[in-house]
Chains A and B, each alone.
Chain A
Amino acid sequence: MKTHIVAFALSIIISLSARAELKWQQTTIELHPTAADKQAVGHFKYQNPGSTPVHFKSVHASCGCTTAQTQKDEVPPGGTGEITATFNIGDRTGTQVKTVTVETDEATNQKTVLTLRTIIPQQLEINPTFVFWKQGDKPDPKTITVKVSKDFPVKHIKVTSSSPDFQTKVEEKGNGEFKIDVQPQETKNVVASTLTIQPEDSQKVFYATARITNATTIQ
């Protein structure tokens, strides 16, 4: 009977020490930056509830657009801290999911994947962002549709072409939708224009491209 009790106690102790690991407050964070933000920062907080120190072996982000930093290399028993993940938004759009893999010297669960989910607000949805004509094509107008997000009410948009070779005409369709007709003067020469689309009362600028391409088609 005595041996059974000793064995049971031993197994409990070993089991507890084997399961000793960093306790993460959360391993997934969702961020909602504003349209003006250049970065989104997530703080992954942890605690070491075990009786031995935990050491970080590596912290590795899934892409070059994300950096991750630990405050310290060693977490003492009872110690707390956080890993800061910084996602550079750049010209990215929509929902971006980036991960940070944390490797420690814990007995189990040595790798933890932290997920940073960033919802980048999209003021305008432009479709398509590129219109083209082949040399010699009929210079008929082509349409770019602009849809305004309901979170960013925009009544008017201004469109300017970087080249006089293309004319633009904006038509308001209602329900936050605009139609931009783009028309080249002629299609004899290879020319291009950057179309700047600016919502009224907004600093943010959007772009589309119009181009006359080489007539040669390689297949």
Chain B
Amino acid sequence: MIVAKKKTTSGHASSAANDSGGAQEHRASTSTVLNVSSHVARPGAAPALFIVLVCIVMGVASPGFTSLNGWYFMVNESVFIILIAVGMTVVLIVGGIDLSVGSGMAVAAALSGQLLLDGVPMALVFVIVLLVGVAVGLVNGLLITYVGIPDFIATLAMLTALRGVLLIWTQGNPVLGYVTHAYGVIGGSTKIAPYLTVPMLLTLAVAIAGSVLLRYTVLGRHIHAVGGDGDAAVLMGVRAKRVKIACYVISGVLAALSGILLAGYLSQVSPGTTASGYELMAVAAAVLGGASLSGGRGSVFGACLGAIALTVITNLLSWWNVNPNWSDVLVGVLILLAALLQRAGVIVATRGGQTKRPRLADPQPVTRAPQSV
């Protein structure tokens, strides 16, 4: 989407920031281990730096915010965004975008609540809801690859349609009264150990699995290949359509999982508002964590840090008792600040690279001739 970036963002910057794909780049530029400039552009560096900054400032200003308990609350709250941000990262790397995750979460949450009320055994409920997530992802993927609808529009239509289905089905009435002690444990409103909840463990597992998938599996390499250059990937024998569908299925399942947990955490699901707007938070988290909206690049680890940074931002404001009217302004400014940190890291890394090696030629950004959609 952003083809006309300044020269500095092409070439060195993109490969230095490409953590998972640019291993050899790192080997070349980190001959001295303590080369700061090669690390500041790594995915996740900006949100990490942001979180550290917040820790330092708040640690001095009001220690309660960064206490263990404070972090427990923030991390426990961020898992829902982290889960969909991991799925979003996978979809962004393959060159797509999934706007349907917020509505997908809401449908999953309401469905789990309602099925539990209807007396369906809990394990079966979760299986059914996850299958619904698979189905949503599959429909997204098929619409995009075989019908030829642009990713943004297909998933936008899905966002609207899923919210509509939910409203028609519930007639706008909230789903409530389904929470049992067991579901509270699963949703993270009840701790299983000090500072530890089930969603935290699940999210950790998902993040590790996502990282491994993207780095070490055939599918993961294919996802990078299709997102980097679809035509080249097809000529190499990658089944691009299937790879893309798989990405949307992953995103759909993770949205369903996040919805199941959210239902347990909230203890009530409002069809109109629950998880609405989460899709943009997930995209923001993934992009702050180093994912590119034009595909081929992204990091699960970075997306997790991005999601935590976003949660820290919203919590900072309620901690300071900011006038709610001002909080929107500050959220926007802080998002910009985090994006600026990322950009600054890229610039620093590019300059560091330039002094070391003479550039043979101005690396050309990969531009793709516009094709009919």
Bound pair (A, B): no
Which B residues are closer than 8 A to A by beta carbons? none
